[in-house]
Amino acid sequence: MAPAKPHKTKGLLAIFTGNGKGKTTASLGLAFRALGHGQKVCIIQFIKGSWKYGEMETAKQFSSLLDFHVMGRGFTWKSDDLEQDKAAALEAWEFAKKTIMENNHSLVILDELTYLPHYKMIDEQEILKVLASKPSGLHVVVTGRYATEKLVELADLVTEMVAIKHPYKSGIKAQKGFEF
C-alpha cells in the first residue's frame, strides 16, 4: 500500500466577485471561521463609509483578534468629491500593502478592492504585484465587482456571485440585520 500524499497548505488568494449580493458577507464568514480558531484577522474596507452597520458592532466583540478598518468615504457612484475618494483609496491601499507585508494576521480581507482599478484610482499592476508577493502563509480575500482576468488568474479560489433575484427589485429596501 502506497503512503498517503501529504496535504499541501499555503496562504490562499480568494476572490468574491460578480453582480450578486453576498461578496462581503462571504468574506465575513471566513473571518468568523478564522476567529473561531483563534487566528488574527484584518478587514480593510475601501469604499464603505462611516454609516452604522451590524458588522461594526460585532467586530467590537473580537477586538483582541480582529482589526476592522473602514477607510472609504461611502459609495463612489454617489460621491460629492471624487478626488477625496481617490485620496482615501490611496491611503487605504498604502495601509493594506503595509498590513499584508507585516504578516501579523492569518487572514486579510480587502473588501471592495476591485473597484479601485475599475475606477482608475489605483493601477491594477501594482495590486497584482503586491498580491503575488504576499507572505506565503497569509490568506487574502478580495471582494467586489469587476474582478479582472489577471486578478482571477492570480487567485487560488474565485467565486462569482450571480444576481438571480433581489428584494430591492420588488420595492423592498435594505433591512437592518440582513443587508447592513
Residues 76 and 119: beta-carbon distance below 8 Å: yes
Instruction: For 94-151, write each residue's pLDDT tens digit.
Output: 999 999 999 999 999 999 999 999 989 999 999 999 999 999 999 999 999 999 999 9
Q: Which amino acid is at 140?
A: V
**Rounded to 5 degrees, what are φ and ψ at 104?**
-100, 5
Total domain count for the chain?
Answer: 1
pTM, entire model: 0.90
Closest listed residue to residue 62, CA positions, set 33, 26, 93? 33
**Rounded to 5 degrees, what are φ and ψ at 63?**
-60, -20
Tell me the C-alpha distance between 140 and 112, whole Å: 13
113 lies in some domain: yes
178 lies in some domain: no
Tell me the C-alpha distance between 98 and 103, whole Å: 9
Instruction: For 47-91, write each residue's pLDDT tens digit.
Output: 876 666 778 788 888 889 999 999 977 655 556 677 888 888 899
Strand partners, 143: 16
Query: What pLDDT shows up at residue 48?
Result: 75
Query: What pLDDT shows up at residue 113?
Result: 97
Query: What pLDDT shows up at residue 14?
Result: 98
In a 13 Å sphere around the CA of 93, the CA atoms on its Cβ side amount to: 22
Instruction: Kindly tell me if the per-residue pLDDT of 177 is higher than 90.
Output: no
91 lies in some domain: yes
Locate 11 and state its grid cell.
Answer: 496562504
38 lies in some domain: no
- Catalytically active residues are 19, 21, 23-25, 33, 75, 77, 112
The CATH number for 64's domain is 3.40.50.300
Locate 36 and state its grid cell.
Answer: 473561531
149 lies in some domain: yes
Q: Which amino acid is at 52?
A: K
- Could you tell me the strand order of the sheet in which 139-143 lies? 66-70, 41-45, 107-111, 139-143, 13-17, 157-160
142 lies in some domain: yes
Residues 46 and 113: beta-carbon distance below 8 Å: yes
87 lies in some domain: yes
Query: What pLDDT shows up at residue 144?
Result: 97
Instruction: For 17-35, write each residue's pLDDT tens digit.
Output: 999 999 999 999 999 999 9
